[in-house]
Amino acid sequence: MIKRIDVKDIKIGMYIHDLNSDWMSHPFLVNRFLVRKESEIEKIIDSGIHEVYIDTSKGLDLPSAPTEHEVRRKLESELIEIASRPSTVTRKVEAAEEFGRAQLVHNEANLIVRNILQDVRLGKQVQLEQVEPQVERLTESILRNNGALLSLCRIKDKDNYTFQHSVSVGALMVSFCNALGMSREAIHHAGIGGMLHDIGKMKVPDDILNKPGKLSEQEFKVMKCHVVESQKILHATPGIPEIAIQVAGQHHERHDGSGYPAGLKGDEISQLGQMAAIVDVYDALTSDRCYHQGMSPTDALRKIYEWSKFHFNPELVQAFMRAIGIYPIGTLVRLESGRLGVVVEQNDHNLICPKVKVFFSIKSNTHIKPEIVDLSRRLGAGGGDKIVKHESPEKWHIDPLRFL
């Protein structure tokens, strides 16, 4: 049985099933192991981890600890309650209308950011005039409909993760800032910071940056230096806004002080830095890597919400969830009626009742004529159904984007 326990309750002989932390926040080579020494417990605590999951079939039990199922059920209930509140994002056009423009913006931004990062690798200075027009186009697309572009940002080539992740963080920061009602200037500056937040990774040796596996402790220390390198590069960039430097310099800080490079805590971290921490982890969790299978957006939001007790600002986490929805556009979902569908548009008044394009019957195991179902409407008015859970596109051999 899998249970969640506080790190202070870890005992020698327990089997760690999950360190319950994103991979860039702990120095362990593996995520699952039998605890054999007190030093391993101390290492877990020192790395800023507060809770872990244990496997009682492989090690000692803690009878009073809640099971993984109980924890998940409680978290999902809270997620649904938060997502049921009205969204703070308004859209000017439907996602289907914006999708073609968003593809062009996304492709161009990936090309520009890749060129910028490659130039930095060669020792060249960042040319801000290359970045700003891309951020402006990206912002315009998101202000028209944030779901179209953000659905594209989840697609990544494992070999080009670094620059594609940078574009995604830029887009997510723009969407997040817009949802919080920030000024157009602040949104623009945050987008620049998001796109350039990992620019210091170009100073990290290739064999560490692109290692097809978990980093050793020494490699982990080298990788963490990318934040300071990012700050150095951006400080040397003429015209770079202070907000952009905050985003780059603080996206690995954590609310409980366990982050890096400065170990800032709570409000010592700027609001934009706290937002960047959430966005960076969300995009990393939902991305496929050579050593990490990406989570669904819904699962990633659940983990971030769970970690918000310690590592993130809980209010900002909830605002982020309402900004993108717990079932973002492009999510494959199973409906109560036994049909599969892809979320094609959010409902501004209730994010758990989006529009879904259904196309497959699980009961008959056959494709059906595609149909738009508005889950906010009653039966007989184009609705009358509800989401039971999200599904894995890989399991069903489906590319959700072809239904958008």
| Secondary structure percentages of the chain, helix, strand, coil, to 5 | 50, 10, 40
Domain boundary residue, one of 324, 359, 384? 324
CA dihedral 331, 332, 334, 338 (to 10 degrees): 140
Q: Within this chain, do residues 232 and 144 fall inside the same structural domain, yes or no?
A: yes
Residue 193: exposure state from Cβ atoms within 10 A (0-12, 13-18, ≥19): buried
Residue 180 included in any domain: yes
Is 72 among the domain residues? Answer: no
Same domain flag for 110 and 227 = yes
pLDDT of the residue at 341: 95
Cβ contacts of 77 within 8 Å, gap of 6 or more: none
Q: 389 in a domain, yes or no?
A: yes
Closest CA to 180 of 152, 229, 132, 146: 146
pLDDT at 290: 67
Is 31 part of a structural domain of the chain?
Answer: yes
Query: What is the domain extent for residue 190?
Result: 95-324
Q: What is the pLDDT of residues 167-181, one digit of tens each?
A: 999 999 999 999 999
CATH code for position 52: 3.90.105
pLDDT attached to residue 291: 66
Last residue of a domain, one of 324, 341, 366: 324
Give the β-pairing of 15-18 and 339-345.
Answer: unpaired
Q: Looking at this protein, which amino acid is placed at residue 211? A: K
Pair (111, 243) in one structural domain: yes
Q: Output the pTM of the full model.
A: 0.94
Query: Structure tokens of 363?
Result: 């009961």
In 3D space, the residue among 279, 253, 272 whose CA is nearest the CA of residue 264 turns out to be 253
On whether both 175 and 117 belong to a single domain, the answer is yes
Q: What CATH number is attached to the domain comprising 267?
A: 1.10.3210.10
**Bridge partner list, 373:** 356
pLDDT reported for residue 87: 73
Q: Residues 125, 224, 313, CA angle at the centre, nearest 5°?
A: 105
The pLDDT, as a whole number, for residue 29 is 75
Residues 362 and 263 in one domain: no
The three-state secondary structure class of 288 is coil
Both 260 and 350 in a single domain? no
For residue 91, give both structure tokens: 């859209």
245-266 tens-digit pLDDT: 999 999 999 999 999 999 999 9
Last residue in a domain, options 276, 293, 324: 324
Note whether residue 43 is domain-resident: yes
Specify if 206 maps to a domain: yes
* Residue 83 included in any domain: no
| Shared domain check, 338 and 286 | no
62 and 133 part of one domain: no
Given a cut of 70, the residues of the chain with pLDDT beneath it are: 23-25, 27, 290-291, 379-383
Residue 35 near residue 55 (C-beta atoms within 8 A):
no
Task: Provide the number of structural domains found in the chain.
Answer: 3
In a domain, 76, yes or no: no
- Same domain? For 104 and 235 the reply is yes
pLDDT attached to residue 28: 77
115 plus 198 within the same structural domain: yes
Residues 142 and 237 in one domain: yes
pLDDT of residue 108: 96
Whether residues 285 and 359 fall in one domain? no
